[in-house]
Structure 1
Amino acid sequence: MKEVVLINGKQQSTLSVFNRLTQFGDGLFETCLAENTHLLFWSQHFERLEKGRMQLKINPVSEKMWLEDISTALTIAKMTHAVVKIILSRGESMRGYGFENNIEPTRLVIVSMMPKIPSEYALSICHSGYANNQLLSNIKHCNRLEQILARSELHCDECIMLDNNDCVISVTQGNIFAVKHRVLLTPNLDKCGIAGTRRARVLKIAGELGLQVSVKPLTLQELLECDEVFITNSVIGIQPVISIGEKIFTQQIITQKLRQILKKIKQ
């Protein structure tokens, strides 16, 4: 079975046109990895979902209910390794932006097969980038037009997204890191972008390895002058970057060290 979809705990894939997810993208999502029914980094994903839910003032869904839905979907799918996407919609309402305080949220669970992942990534630069929005920064809301436009330009494995100041923020589906003289660099995400669950863990591992870590605005030129570049997300883990445009990266020493450590961490 390629995909299993549950809406409010029932196997179906049809959502009402009055659902605010379809009308406005009024919701949040998380994408997790499941290995033998175990959800990797689940607590971090749920914590971020809850943070976004409270910020958007969406009524709560218990962690127990989410886990029951996910378990049901994984059982139906019969996959040992799977991608689990959960979506929390504010719920259904009539036309217009306003909503009742007691609106009942809609929960969706989508279980998919693991995609084929390149062993190395070639990157390009997107012309479509991020607009600064501190209010929505680091919330995984369902309005992803910036990434959609960027993906439409994709001619490589991934592309780098910049902000209004032409500083590097991320790739379309993950965070980006660089290494220069044993210093681990990654962009500051205070004004836009998403701080991924694997990003947080990589920063922690780097500190434990004694690497100097610098989280700061990062220009494209600074990135191109680095020794190593790699990208991260919940599905691919850590993957090395071999090129950005015409720039070739031949070194992966620290990238591979971090990658091997991250592979062993399951929560």
Structure 2
Amino acid sequence: MQHEYILHNDEFFTIHHPILTSSNRSFRYGDGLFETMRMSGGKLLFPELHADRLRAGMKALKIEGSVLLDEYFLKQKTAELCKKNKLRDNVRFRLSVYRNGDGLYTPNSNKSGYILEASPLTESGYELNKKGLIIDVFDEITKPINPLSNYKTSSALVYVMAGLFKKQHKLDEAIILNQNGFLCESISSNVFVVYDKQIYTPALSEGCISGVMRKVVMGLAKANDISIIEAQLNPEVLREAEEVFITNALGGIRWVMGYGRKRYFNEVSKGLSTLLNNL
């Protein structure tokens, strides 16, 4: 039977091997961050964008070693883990980086540690979902706006609670609001709204994750003379919009079919999805 492995600080361990202690700072305090990446056709997608966000996030958290976790590191380590797990074409990766040291709230060290995980994907490309998503707005807890809001930190309770809300109401996705009550993002994706034939997305100043696929889609739009406006968006726009779609590095572009009794089209998301796959 083939064992599955993870990569922990450059060493391979089977996935069930205990590697973290109860004093691990990511476990105790959420003192870390992560990147979720995709390999398609044996090629790691957008490694430079993931490396840029990882580097910026580590600097924001004052975790050392960001220079070493560059694009080359991501390509090299994901390739090593694929070879060890005998994975080839389409793979999902999660790289978790944590502050590796003792201390209570105040760390004794700012050195970094990491864990890289891999699992196979069935889809070979960014296929647009055939069935549109059903969403609702999660407003029980809002996301704060601060210098760490744009990074995928290990402090993820707002997303966990939104996930429980999604499960309770049998939704496909839930939209999270920021501390001022404006649209921020969904549980796992950035949000785009087509209103009056114009595409809008929450600005980074609204506290959303600086998504890799968000940047890719905005770049595609610019290259094809499609205007996308970063703005502050009232959740009421969801009731008036012609389209809503969400994006992340794993799923690409996914269109939304319904919000309450509101139903949406998918013409714009379909066009952008074609452009994405042409990459």
For 2:49 and 2:241, the matched residues in 1 are separated by 30
Tell me how far 1:192 sits from its aligned partner: 1.6
Which of 255, 264, 267 is residue 278 of structure 2 equivalent to?
Answer: 264
Residue 76 of structure 1 deviates from its aligned partner by 2.1
Rounded to whole Å, the distance in 2 between the matches of 1:190 and 1:47 is 18
Tell me the matched-pair count.
262
Contact 1:28 1:52 in 2 (8 A): yes
- Letter of the aligned partner of 1:70 in structure 2? T
Partner of residue 234 from structure 1, selected from 238, 249, 260: 249
**Cα shift readout 1:157-179 (whole Å, capped 9, x = no counterpart):** 11111122321111110011011
Q: Which amino acid aligns with 2:276?
A: L
- The answer as to whether partners of 2:257 and 2:263 remain within 8 angstroms in 1 is yes
Counterpart-to-counterpart distance in 2, 1:166 and 1:121: 23
Superposed CA RMSD in Å reads 2.1
The residue aligned with 2:147 is: 135
Aligned with 1:164 (options 170, 175, 179): 179
Per the alignment, residue 68 of structure 1 pairs with 76
After the TM superposition, which of the residue ranges 27-36 and 55-64 deviates more from structure 2? 55-64
Show the counterpart of 2:95. Answer: 86
Letter in 1 for 2:9: N
Percent of paired sites with the same residue: 25
2:22 is aligned, of 5, 17, 23, to: 17
Structure 2, unmatched stretches of 5+, are none
Q: Equivalent residue of 1:125, what SS?
A: strand
**Paired AA for residue 278 in structure 2:** K
List per-residue Cα deviations over 1:33-56 (Å, max 9, x = no partner): 012331101100010000011111
Tell me the distance in 2 between the aligned counterparts of 1:149 and 1:2: 33
C-alpha contact (below 8 Å) 2:47/2:74 kept by paired residues: no
Task: Give the letter aligned to residue 233 of structure 1.
Answer: N
Cα distance in 2 for partners of 1:36, 1:4 equals: 21
**Structure 1 residues 27 and 261, CA gap change in structure 2 (3 angstroms):** same
Displacement, 1:29? 0.4
Contact map agreement 1:184 1:206 (CA 8 A) in 2: no
Question: Would the alpha carbon gap of residues 128 and 7 (structure 1) be closer, same or farther in structure 2, given more than 3 Å must change?
Answer: farther
In structure 2, C-alpha distance between the alignment counterparts of 1:40 and 1:192, rounded to whole Å = 25
Unaligned runs of 5+ in 1: none
The one of 91, 98, 105 aligned to 2:112: 105
Q: Does 1:44 align with 2:56?
A: no
- Residue 9 of structure 1 aligns with an amino acid whose one-letter code is D
Amino acid across the alignment from 1:204: G
**TM-score after normalising by structure 2:** 0.87
Paired letter, 2:147: L
Which stretch of structure 1 is more off in the superposition, 177-186 or 114-123? Answer: 114-123
Match of 1:124 among 133, 136, 143: 136
1:208 to 202, 211, 223: 223
